[in-house]
Amino acid sequence: MELRVRGRVRRAASTALALAIVVATVGVAGPAHAQVDGQACTLCAGGEFFPVTPTRVFDTRNGTGGRNVALPFGQSADVAVTNVAGVPATGVLAVALNVTVDAPSQPGFLTVSPSGAGVPVASNLNFTPGNPVANFVVVGVGGNGAVTVTPGPPVPNASTAVIVDVVGYYAMAPGCGRCHRRACSTRATEPVACRARSATTPPSTSNCAASAASRTAGRSPP
C-alpha cells in the first residue's frame, strides 16, 4: 500500500515538473496583434524596373542628343533620358544606361550623375587613350529629366567621344503594388472589414495613402 502511494506521488510530481517546463518554455497563449507601420506605403517609393528596347540617345560622334563634337575633360553635358526611348516623361526615379567612351585622347574616367546634382567624386568607367570602353550604369534622374556625363580629370587638350544608350528605367509601379496593407482586422480599435481581395490586383496609390491614414484614425479604409 505504501509503495503504491509513493508511486502515485512520484508520477504526480513528474507531471507537474513537465507542465512547468512547457509553460516556462512556450509561455501562456494570448491574443496576437500584428504590428503594421502606418507609413508602410512609403515602401512603394523604391520603384520597379521597366526594360525598354535599347535606344541610343546621345552620341557626340554624329550629333545624336544635340552635340556633334568630342567632350573635353572637365566639361559636362546633359543627356535627356525621359520622354525618349519608351521612358515616361514623369515619375522616373532612375535610368539604366549603357555608357561608352570612344577614341579618348588621354587616360581618364567618366562620371554619370543626376543633372543638377553636381559631379560626385566617383567614376562609372575608366579608359586609356584610343580604346573604346563601355559600362552599365544605373543613375538617378535630375529634375529636368536628364543625366550629366563628365569626363575627367580636367586636363587641357584632352577629350573623348561619349555615347549613351537607354536600356530601362525605374519608376513607381502602377497601383503602388508593393505597399503593405492590412486586409482584415477584428479589433474594435482598428476595424477593417474582412472581405475578399484579389491576390493579383494591387491597390491603387490613393488607396495606399487612405489605408495608412485610416489606420492612424482607427477607421476602415473605403
| Sequence-distant (≥ 6) Cβ neighbours of residue 29 within 8 angstroms | none
Q: Are 166 and 86 part of one and the same domain?
A: yes
Q: Are 8 and 35 part of one and the same domain?
A: no
Q: Are 39 and 88 part of one and the same domain?
A: no
**Residue 51 confidence class, pLDDT cut points 50, 70, 90:** very high
Q: Are 13 and 53 part of one and the same domain?
A: no
Q: Are 143 and 73 part of one and the same domain?
A: yes
CA 8 to chain centre: 65
- Kindly state the helix (H) or strand (E) to which residue 208 belongs, with its residue range: helix 205-217
Q: Are 53 and 9 part of one and the same domain?
A: no
User: Which comes out higher in pLDDT, residue 182 or 130?
Assistant: 130
Mean pLDDT estimate for the chain: 76
The string over 120-140, giving b where at least 16 C-beta atoms fall within 10 Å of a residue's C-beta and e elsewhere, is eeebbbebeeeeebebebebe
Q: With a threshold of 0.75, does the pTM exceed it?
A: no
| CATH number of the CATH domain containing 137 | 2.60.120
Q: Look-up: residue for cell 562620371? A: 111
- Domain extent, residue 67, equals 48-171
pLDDT score at 47: 79
Q: What is the pLDDT of residues 83-101, one digit of tens each?
A: 999 999 999 999 999 999 9
Q: Give the burial class of 198: count Cβ atoms within 10 A of its Cβ; 0-12 exposed, 13-18 middle, 19 or more buried.
A: exposed
- Kindly state the helix (H) or strand (E) to which residue 164 belongs, with its residue range: strand 159-171
Q: Are 130 and 147 part of one and the same domain?
A: yes
pLDDT at 148 over 70: yes
Q: Look-up: residue for cell 513537465? A: 18
User: Which range among 36-45, 173-182, 201-210 has the greatest average pLDDT?
Assistant: 173-182
Percentage of residues of the chain with pLDDT beyond 70: 57
Contact at 8 Å (CB) between 181 and 215?
A: no
Q: Are 102 and 156 part of one and the same domain?
A: yes
Q: Are 159 and 206 part of one and the same domain?
A: no
The C-alpha angle 47, 168, 178, rounded to 5 degrees, equals 20
pLDDT score at 25: 40
Last residue within a domain, chosen from 171, 194, 212? 171
Total domain count for the chain? 3
Taking the CB of residue 104, how many other CB atoms lie within 10 A of it? 25
Q: Are 136 and 78 part of one and the same domain?
A: yes
Taking the CB of residue 99, how many other CB atoms lie within 10 A of it? 23
Q: Which grid coordinates belong to 11?
A: 508520477
Q: Are 63 and 161 part of one and the same domain?
A: yes
